[in-house]
């Protein structure tokens, strides 16, 4: 009954097997081997376009390299108020962009609201050097509270960005979970909706550590080999990332793992809807479920062996919770079982 985080899980058996399969033999280092190139080509095929792919080991690296690739002196990037980028990366995007700034944009359900975005950008007119240069909007798909932007919603944000000459980044730490929720193609959810840079995450969905920064806009790819190297994110044995991705993208493993996680989350949500000791904070999407309960109930669950966190992004949800209540987060993953879910629901009652 561990619903603490999807990164508490290890690696899916197929990922382990993929690593094992490629562990012997010699191959050109630093991402220059034929095998590395094949996996890069696999990404392009999957995304139905030519793109540059930069393999790294953490989502923070992928996100921060994206911000850095798009930045200018005095660069200002915009993200949702609760985005991982601004809440949980210890200032890495600011560091990678040599002191760029992240600006919080409000919006309901964990998603950037386009009019709020437009007015946030308007505070940084390009002719006025006292403030900075707006450079990038980042959307988190799925968001920190598990919600998912529709393609139309991504496109609406991209439209605001384009109008202001900004680039669009998608933080896809839970890309697969969002994708199966929407049931669209990777191309539709990204470049066809105006995305220039994509952090394509594998780690939270069954890989050990496999993240790819996919760059659709060739102008933005130019400096990335240098940015990645000088931030220490070029692996000598890049093969260990590409081997994970090869397995991940074979036979729809990635989609199947995400579908399973989402299904488990749905089962949790259904159970909570029926409980009279807790209620859903909002309808779930992807693999995150948020429920509201009194503290004593949460404590009881914990004592009985369930592991989960109170909402770690303690924003204002005054409209959702009552006195003595808190929002709790449940995260499912590729290895969550129906038995895990049902035991939890039974405990909850």
Query: In the range 209-268, which residues lie near its own copies by CB under 8 A?
Result: 209, 223, 225-237, 239-240
- Number of residues near its own copies (by CB under 8 A): 77
Q: Which residues share a beta bridge with 200?
A: 172, 212
Q: Show the site string, 84-113: x = touches its own copies by CB under 8 A, - = not.
A: ---xxxxxx-xxxxxxxxx-----------
Nearest approach in angstroms of CB 235 to its own copies is 5
Tokens, residue 301: 């669950």
Answer for the pair 169, 137: CB distance below 8 angstroms, yes or no: yes
Nearest approach in angstroms of CB 298 to its own copies is 19
Answer for the pair 135, 72: CB distance below 8 angstroms, yes or no: yes
**Considering only 53-61, 251-259, 293-301, 341-349, which stretch makes contact with its own copies by CB under 8 A?**
53-61
Nearest to 211 by CA among 238, 184, 180: 238
Q: How far is CA 316 from the centre of its chain?
A: 22
Nearer to its own copies, 101 or 260 (CB): 101
Nearest approach in angstroms of CB 74 to its own copies is 4
Nearer to its own copies, 232 or 349 (CB): 232
Tokens, residue 7: 């990164």
Which bin fits 30, alpha (ψ -120 to 50), beta or left (φ > 0)? Answer: left
Nearest approach in angstroms of CB 153 to its own copies is 26
**Considering only 40-48, 57-65, 153-161, 270-278, which stretch makes contact with its own copies by CB under 8 A?**
57-65
**Considering only 16-24, 139-147, 274-282, 286-294, which stretch makes contact with its own copies by CB under 8 A?**
16-24
Q: What is the DSSP letter of 129?
A: T
3-state SS class at 89 = coil
Nearest to 105 by CA among 124, 82, 126: 82
Place of tokens 């109008």: 163
Q: Which residues share a beta bridge with 294?
A: 325
Distance CA 299, CA 76 (A): 42
- Asked if the peptide bond before residue 80 counts as cis, ω within 30 degrees of 0, the response is no
**Considering only 180-188, 190-198, 200-208, 284-292, which stretch makes contact with its own copies by CB under 8 A?**
200-208
Q: Which residues share a beta bridge with 211?
A: 56, 201
**Considering only 2-10, 161-169, 259-267, 275-283, which stretch makes contact with its own copies by CB under 8 A?**
2-10
Nearest approach in angstroms of CB 266 to its own copies is 20
Nearer to its own copies, 97 or 285 (CB): 97
Binders of its own copies among residues 307 to 336 (CB under 8 A) are 314, 335
Binders of its own copies among residues 125 to 184 (CB under 8 A) are 129-133
Q: Show the site string, 19-48: x = touches its own copies by CB under 8 A, - = not.
A: xx-xxxxxxxxx------------------
């Amino acid at each position: 009954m561990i619903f603490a985080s999807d990164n508490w899980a290890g690696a899916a058996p197929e990922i382990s097997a993929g690593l094992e399969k490629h562990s012997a033999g010699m191959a050109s280092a630093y991402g220059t081997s034929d095998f590395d190139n094949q996996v890069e080509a696999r990404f392009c095929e999957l995304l139905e376009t030519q793109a540059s792919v930069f393999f790294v080991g953490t989502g923070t690296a992928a996100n921060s390299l994206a911000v850095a690739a798009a930045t200018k002196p005095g660069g200002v990037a915009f993200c949702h108020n609760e985005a991982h980028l601004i809440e949980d990366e210890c200032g890495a995007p600011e560091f990678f962009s040599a002191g760029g700034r992240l600006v919080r944009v409000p919006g309901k359900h964990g998603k950037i609201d386009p009019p709020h975005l437009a007015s946030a950008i308007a505070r940084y007119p390009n002719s006025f050097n006292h403030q900075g240069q707006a450079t990038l909007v980042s959307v988190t798909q799925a968001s920190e509270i598990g919600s998912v932007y529709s393609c139309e919603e991504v496109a609406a944000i991209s439209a605001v960005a384009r109008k202001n000459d900004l680039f669009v980044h998608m933080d896809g730490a839970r890309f697969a979970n969002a994708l199966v929720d929407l049931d669209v193609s990777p191309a539709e959810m990204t470049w066809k909706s105006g995305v220039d840079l994509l952090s394509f995450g594998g780690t939270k969905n069954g890989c050990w550590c496999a993240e790819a920064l996919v760059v659709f806009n060739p102008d933005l790819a130019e400096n990335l080999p240098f940015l990645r190297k000088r931030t220490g994110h070029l692996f000598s044995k890049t093969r260990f990332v590409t081997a994970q991705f090869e397995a991940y993208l074979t036979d729809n493993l990635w989609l199947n793992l995400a579908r399973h996680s989402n299904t488990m989350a749905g089962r949790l949500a259904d159970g909570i809807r029926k409980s009279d000791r807790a209620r859903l904070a909002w309808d779930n999407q992807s693999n995150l479920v948020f429920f509201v309960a009194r503290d004593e109930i949460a404590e009881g669950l914990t004592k009985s062996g369930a592991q989960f966190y109170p909402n770690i992004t303690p924003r204002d949800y005054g409209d959702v919770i009552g006195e003595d209540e808190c929002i709790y987060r449940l995260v499912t993953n590729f290895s969550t079982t129906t038995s895990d879910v049902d035991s939890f629901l039974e405990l909850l009652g």
